[in-house]
């Protein structure tokens, strides 16, 4: 007889959770959140035998949208933490990349600067002022906000297993010397710099989990699931093995610079192993 392992699973997050343009879209309101039937929460709900499941992730979400409504072109998403209940026993959280437009700044700015210095780092220079990297500073502040979100999750669902899901790598490891300007049109030095920003965000999320666990004391079990090791060899430059769509949006595959179906399967598999 089938028996659920988790009674109530809630998925929180941004577009790296919702899965924009990965076929087939979920017809759950608001449609502007662009959730996919093949996103990792939906796959994990089956793998982890969730008795009930609420996917409230939404493309474009920031940490502020955990406790405040988010307007989309097709409706308003309620504060995501409102989906939590005292009996919620599994939560996944994938958030942080949109805060202070960190990811948006990289993918929206770097391609346009590549021709200025194809082998240099014009985008890094663009985001450096008075000797300080603006995006790295933003990432550090994001970690503080994620910690606050985790504390609130712990208050609302004190018995939950909480998995903070890191972002899979967009850029190749600098050590392999790979570039793919037709897919990731970044200057060579900016690929390495962008990889450093991605790594810094993973570190900030890991530290946020550590601080939240220390502050909360007895309460939910919170873990950081680092997707950088798991996605090695699956960055956007990895051709048929890529988990991330490149610069061109494919309406039958994924939005540009976002996970495809293979990426979602990879994340779901990693989360399932963590829960096993």
219-274 pLDDT per residue, tens:
678 999 999 999 999 999 999 999 999 999 999 999 999 999 999 999 999 999 99
2 band by pLDDT with thresholds 50, 70 and 90: low
Q: What pLDDT, on the 0 to 100 scale, is given for residue 59? A: 98
pLDDT at 48 over 90: yes
pLDDT at 95 over 70: yes
Is 101 considered catalytic here?
no
196-221 pLDDT per residue, tens:
999 999 999 999 999 999 886 666 78
Question: What does the longest C-alpha to C-alpha distance in the chain come to?
Answer: 64
**109/122 Cα distance (integer angstroms):** 10
175-193 pLDDT per residue, tens:
777 889 999 999 999 999 9
**15, 18, 157, 238: which is the annotated catalytic residue?**
15
Residue in the block written with tokens 């590549």: 114
pLDDT at 164 over 90: yes
- Percentage with pLDDT > 70 across the chain: 98
Phi-psi region of 200 (alpha: psi -120 to 50; beta: other; left: phi over 0): alpha
pTM of the model: 0.95
CB 35 within 8 A of CB 80: no
pLDDT at 98 over 80: yes
Query: How crowded is residue 1: how many other Cβ atoms within 10 Å of its Cβ?
Result: 2
- What are the b/e assignments for 87-105, b being 16+ CB within 10 Å? ebbbbbbbbbbbbbebbeb
Residue in the block written with tokens 């014009």: 122
**200/124 Cα distance (integer angstroms):** 14
Is 272 considered catalytic here?
no
Give the H or E element holding residue 263.
Answer: helix 261-275
| pLDDT (mean) for 123-131 | 93
pLDDT at 27 over 80: yes
Which CATH number is 6-275 given?
3.40.50.1110
């Amino acid at each position: 007889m089938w028996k659920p392992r988790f009674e109530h699973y809630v998925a929180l997050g941004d577009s790296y959770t919702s899965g924009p343009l990965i076929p087939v879209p979920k017809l759950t309101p608001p449609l502007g959140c662009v959730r996919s039937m093949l996103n990792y929460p939906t796959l994990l709900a089956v793998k982890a035998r969730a008795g009930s499941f609420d996917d409230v992730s939404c493309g474009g979400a920031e940490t502020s949208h955990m406790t405040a409504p988010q307007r989309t072109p097709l409706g308003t998403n309620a504060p995501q933490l409102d989906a939590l209940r005292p009996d919620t026993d599994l939560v996944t959280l994938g958030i942080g990349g949109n805060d202070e437009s960190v990811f948006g700044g990289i993918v929206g700015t770097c391609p346009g600067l590549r021709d200025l210095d194809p082998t240099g780092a014009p985008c890094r220079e663009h985001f450096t002022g008075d000797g300080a990297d603006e995006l790295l500073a933003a990432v550090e502040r994001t970690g503080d906000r994620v910690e606050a979100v985790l504390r609130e999750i712990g208050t609302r669902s004190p018995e939950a297993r909480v998995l903070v899901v890191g972002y899979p790598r967009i850029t190749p490891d600098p050590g392999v010397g790979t570039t793919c300007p037709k897919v990731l049109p970044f200057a060579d030095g900016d690929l390495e710099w962008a990889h450093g920003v991605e790594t810094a965000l993973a570190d900030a999320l890991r530290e946020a989990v550590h601080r939240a666990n220390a502050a909360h004391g007895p309460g939910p079990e919170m873990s950081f699931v680092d997707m950088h090791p798991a996605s090695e060899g699956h960055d956007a430059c990895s051709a048929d093995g890529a988990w991330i769509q490149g610069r061109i949006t494919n309406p039958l595959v994924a939005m540009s610079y976002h996970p495809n179906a293979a990426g979602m399967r990879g994340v779901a598999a990693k989360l399932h192993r963590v829960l096993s």
